Amino acid sequence: MIHELYRKLYFSDFGDERGKLVVAEGDIDIPFAIQRVFYIYGSDDSVVRGQHANRNSQFVLINVAGSSKVTLTDGVNRETVTLSRPMEGLYIPKMVWKEMYDFSSDSVLLVLASTHYDESEYIRDYEEYAAMMRT
């Protein structure tokens, strides 16, 4: 079965002489109702974050400043995306294994989530994840 690993999203970028303003509305630009926002900053190019899959959560990642890379896999297919533009989002469906790395020192990675935080929906062991995806 082909599993969607990700989808790139492009947000409206309103700019004038005062600067830029990017809009992402839940259920319109974001393909779910946003329940949670968190952001990752202060990481650098020696760090690998993520390394998990979520049973229920969908996410949209936006590097609102700086850049980072995301590698996504469903246990078979594997793709890497570079995030470096504030008006670009990376939609990640549930049950995709993700790793975020190569953070620039100024990286601020904004994450929009479809769920409230629930540690019990995280799969943090890759072998367990790969076995689930084989069945």
Which residue ranges make up the site for ligand TYD (CB under 6 A)?
Answer: 36, 38, 49-50, 52, 117
Catalytic residue from among 3, 49, 52, 85: 52
Residue nearest to ligand TYD (CB): 49
Q: Is 17 or 91 the residue whose CB approaches ligand TYD more closely?
A: 91
- Measured from the CB of residue 121, what is the shortest distance to ligand TYD in angstroms? 11
- Smallest separation, CB 54 to ligand TYD (Å): 10
Looking at the Cβ atoms of 20 and 124, the one nearer to ligand TYD is 124
Choose between 7 and 36: whose C-beta lies nearer to ligand TYD.
Answer: 36
* Angstrom distance (rounded) from CA 111 to CA 129: 22
Q: What is the 3-state secondary structure (H, E, C) of the chain?
A: CCCCCCEEEECEEEEECCEEEEECCECCCECCCCCEEEEEECCCCCCEEEEEEECCCCEEEEEEECCEEEEEECCCCEEEEEECCCCEEEEECCCCEEEEECCCCCCEEEEEECCCCCHHHEECCHHHHHHHHHC
Cβ atoms of 20 and 100 closer than 8 Å: no
Min dist CB 117 to ligand TYD, Å, is: 4
What single-letter amino acid sits at 9?
L
52 catalytic? Reply is yes
The least CB distance from residue 124 to ligand TYD, in Å, is 8
Comparing CB distances to ligand TYD, the nearer of 11 and 59 is 59
Active site (catalytic) residues? 52
